[in-house]
Every structure is written in structure tokens, then in C-alpha cells.
Amino acid sequence: MANKFPIDEFDAAPAHGGRHRELRTASARIREFIKLFAISLVVAGVGYLGLQWVQSANVFDGFIAGQSSETNATAKTKVKVFDGTAENQAGTEVAKTLFLAGYEVGSAQNLVDSANAEVVVEKSTILITDEKYRATASKISTETGIKLIEVTADYPDPLTVVVGADFVIPKN
């Protein structure tokens, strides 16, 4: 088909060559792959380290101005009350006392085991998950008369009051 066209000045030009038209060897392809892999690795590393640097520059540390750290740690903490007595009214009384004292009571319910059978415990206890709640637990102890405070991970809530058989409902 090329023979059907008339001869012009482009036919007289030398054949175009160049490095990009030469056959590529396996070693050239491997070198190119390694070069692209190294560039990708550098770009990904810089991106990752940059994101880590940005994340570490968080200026908000959770502190609210005007409050002490103790108040800040426990100000909105809910108190959960479990009734471990046979009477089933002591927990309600403790929850009512805490509510009237200004605490946020999450719930008040009977203490049950995994089979939903009611459990009776001997000693009333205030359970905390961390030492930072000890000051609030001491205040709760003053309000309720429950003296025993323990740090435990058995209950998921930060402040849990377990009312035991030794608790005496105050007479008003």
C-alpha cells in the first residue's frame, strides 16, 4: 500500500531510530522494576512518617479549662448500682441517695449471675476501674456509708456500687 503513494521529501529523510526503539533486555526490565519499587517505597515511607507526625501534633489533650483534673476525670461518670441483698430494696435506696446527692446514676438493678439467678453478697463495696476514680468513690462512700473501695476490672463501668447484705437502709 505504501508503494501506491508518490515519492515526496519525507521518503528521503533518514529512518528514525533512537534508544526508545531498541529491544529491551530482561536485565533492563528488572532494573526499571527495582527503580520504580524504590521510588514507591520512598514515597510511601515519607507519606507514612508525615501522617504520623501530623497525628502526634494533636493539640487537644482533653483538658477543659477551669476544672481540676479530678473533676474533669469524674464529672460525667455514671454510677451503676447493683443490689446484692435478699431484700431487693437496698440498691434502690442507695441509687436514690446518690441521685439526690447530685450523682448521675446509670442504673440500679439486682445483681445476677450468668444464669440470671439473683446473687447475694455479704459485703457492700464500691468498685472502681482506675485509681483516678478514688476521690469520687470516697465521696460516694461518705454519702452511702459503704466503706470498702476496691480497684477491679470485673465490672466495665468506672464506678459501680454493689450493695451487700451488710448494708442497713437508713431510717428517715
pLDDT in tens, 83-92: 888 876 888 8
pLDDT bucket at 71, cuts 50 / 70 / 90: very low
Residue 72 has pLDDT above 80, yes or no: no
Grid coordinates in use for 6? 508518490
pLDDT at 56: 78
pLDDT in tens, 83-121: 888 876 888 888 888 888 888 888 888 888 878 888 888
Sheet with 149-151, side-by-side order of all strands: 105-110, 79-83, 159-163, 125-128, 149-151
Length of the chain in residues, anyone? Answer: 172
pLDDT higher at 69 or 45: 45
Domain boundaries, the chain: 19-56, 69-163
Phi/psi of residue 27, nearest 5 degrees: -65, -35
CATH number for the domain running over 69-163 = 3.30.70.2390
Grid coordinates in use for 118? 439473683
pLDDT higher at 16 or 36: 36
pLDDT in tens, 19-47: 666 778 899 999 999 999 999 999 999 99
pLDDT at 171: 65
Residues 5-32: what's their mean pLDDT? Answer: 80
Grid coordinates in use for 130? 482506675
Cβ contact 166:123 at 8 Å: yes
In the 3-class helix/strand/coil scheme, how is the chain assigned residue by residue? CHHHCCCCCCCCCCCCCCHHHCCCCHHHHHHHHHHHHHHHHHHHHHHHHHHHHHHHCCCCCCCCCCCCHHHHHHCCCCEEEEECCCCCCHHHHHHHHHHHCCCCEEEEEECECCCCCECCCCCCEEEECCHHHHHHHHHHHHHHCCCCEEECCCCCCCEEEEECCCCCCCCC
This prediction has a pTM of 0.54
Residue 70 has pLDDT above 60, yes or no: no
Q: Which residues pair with 151 in a beta bridge?
A: 128
pLDDT at 58: 61
Return the percentage of the chain with pLDDT > 70, whole number. 82
Q: Cell 455479704 appears where?
A: 122
